[in-house]
Amino acid sequence: LLQTQHVDLVISDVMMPKMQGTRFVEHLRSFHPGIPVMLITGYLSEVSGKNILQDVAEIMPKPIDLDAFRSTVKRLLDNSATA
């Protein structure tokens, strides 16, 4: 999809059947270094996720707070537009 379509933001779960979210972000960034990424997880808090990912991706803990989700998406899109 990323080879044929322009994507402004990638949102993914951390836990996936064939590739963990952190590995997915590494793979994604090797081809698209500037694309913003949000990882959703029920296993890590926002603080511990940021410590582990060291600002490689935004962490959104489950259950998702819709206001936090909206503001994070807006911030990521705004930041990528100005980068």
Amino acid 72: pLDDT: 94
Q: What are the distances in angstroms from CA 21 to CA 26, 46, 75, 83?
A: 9, 15, 21, 24
From CA 11, how far away is CA 53, in angstroms rounded? 15
CA atoms within a 13 Å half-sphere pointing along the CA-CB vector of 74: 6
Are 59 and 42 in contact by the 8 Å Cβ rule? The answer is no
Q: pTM of the predicted model, to two decimals?
A: 0.79
Q: Taken in order 40, 46, 52, 54, is the CA torsion positive or negative? A: positive
Taking only the tens place, the pLDDT of each residue in 5-52 is 788 999 998 888 887 777 888 888 888 888 999 999 887 655 555 656
Q: According to the model, what pLDDT value does residue 70 have?
A: 97
pLDDT confidence tier of residue 53, bands split at 50, 70 and 90: low
